[in-house]
């Protein structure tokens, strides 16, 4: 997997992703897909605009664009940011791509940007995303009760975060940097992929 800055041609993928009712259900506060003109304005302001911290998620082998991830509300004084991710290609759901991209973004946040804390919000019914966030070290902070109206009922919004020292304690295992017993004997590196810093460019 490779994360890189978005280009203007990616707006077509965004338009298709956010017109999908299921993507909208899992990611939007409004209970409806985004219109094409709204997607275009969002893309220009928040994805490719000056100072944007959004990155495109590409599969390394095929270079296929499958999603987007970003930091927002970057607070340099307090060393914090909010994390966002969408895997827009539905056939790529449940295959670990979101977890891998999140891990790369955390390495970037704590290793390159020098942040102290990364937080996020996720709808309680998005159980797959919550499992993914837990895998890379996010912990539950609290919840906004019955904050989202979906499917004829209110649902909670979950708040999670991870701190720099928590990430440092698990990053080797998550990124595949720790040698396994077999590779330790041979001296070979454990991970088959490139170093994490090369995956974010």
Q: What are the E-state strand segments in the chain?
A: 2-5, 54-58, 65-75, 80-87, 117-123, 139-150, 153-163
Give the DSSP letter of residue 43: I
What distance in Å separates the CA atoms of residue 172 and residue 126, rounded to the nearest whole number?
A: 27
- Cα angle, residue 50 at apex, residues 30 and 92 outer, rounded to 5°: 50
pLDDT at 196 exceeding the cut of 70: no
Q: What is the dihedral of CA 185, 172, 175, 114, to 10 degrees?
A: -150
Q: What pTM was computed for the model?
A: 0.87
Q: What is the pLDDT of residues 119-129, one digit of tens each?
A: 999 999 999 99
> What digits encode the pLDDT tens for the residues 10-23?
999 999 999 999 99
Residue 194: pLDDT band (50, 70, 90) is low
| Domains of the chain, earliest start first | 2-175 (3.40.630.30)
Residue 192 has pLDDT above 50, yes or no: no
């Amino acid at each position: 997997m490779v994360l890189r800055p978005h280009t203007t041609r990616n707006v077509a993928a965004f338009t298709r992703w956010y017109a999908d009712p299921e993507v909208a259900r899992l990611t939007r506060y409004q209970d409806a897909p985004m219109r094409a003109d709204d997607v275009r304005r969002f893309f220009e302001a928040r994805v490719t605009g000056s100072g944007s911290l959004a990155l495109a998620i590409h599969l390394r082998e095929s270079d296929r664009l499958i999603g987007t991830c970003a930091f927002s509300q970057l607070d340099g004084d307090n060393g914090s940011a909010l994390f966002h991710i969408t895997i827009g290609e539905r056939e790529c759901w449940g295959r670990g791509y979101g977890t891998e991209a999140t891990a790369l973004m955390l390495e970037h946040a704590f290793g390159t940007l020098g942040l102290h804390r990364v937080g996020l919000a996720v709808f309680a019914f998005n159980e797959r995303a919550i499992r993914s966030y837990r895998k890379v070290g996010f912990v539950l902070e609290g919840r906004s009760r019955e904050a989202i109206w979906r499917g004829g009922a209110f649902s909670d919004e979950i708040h999670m975060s991870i701190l720099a020292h928590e990430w440092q304690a698990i990053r080797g295992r998550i990124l595949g940097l720790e040698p396994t017993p077999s590779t330790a004997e041979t001296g070979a590196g454990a991970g088959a992929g490139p170093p994490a810093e090369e995956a974010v460019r």
